């Protein structure tokens, strides 16, 4: 599932892929600790959940 984040440097919306984690009691996804902005190239820390699902 894709999640939407906002770059901490330039404010551009970034979309990151979250790998589903097998679990029977809740929907969980694994995301990297940080992500690189497609717009400015800056590295931003992934905020703590809950995350915003991105519209595909």
Q: What are the residues binding Zn ion (CB under 5 A)?
A: 7, 9-10, 12, 37, 39-40, 42
Smallest separation, CB 8 to Zn ion (Å): 8
Give the burial string for 18-51 (b: 16+ CB within 10 Å, else e): beeeeeeeeeebebeeebebeeeeeebeeeeeeb
Quick one: 7 or 16, whose CB is closer to Zn ion? 7
Q: Which helix (H) or strand (E) holds 15?
A: strand 13-17
Cβ closest to Zn ion, residue 19 vs residue 36: 36
Shortest reach from residue 16's CB to Zn ion, in Å = 13
């Amino acid at each position: 599932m894709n999640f939407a984040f906002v770059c901490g440097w330039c404010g551009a919306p970034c979309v990151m892929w979250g790998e589903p984690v097998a679990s029977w009691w809740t929907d969980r996804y694994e995301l990297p600790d940080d992500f690189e902005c497609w717009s400015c190239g800056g590295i931003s820390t992934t905020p703590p959940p809950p995350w915003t699902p991105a519209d595909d």
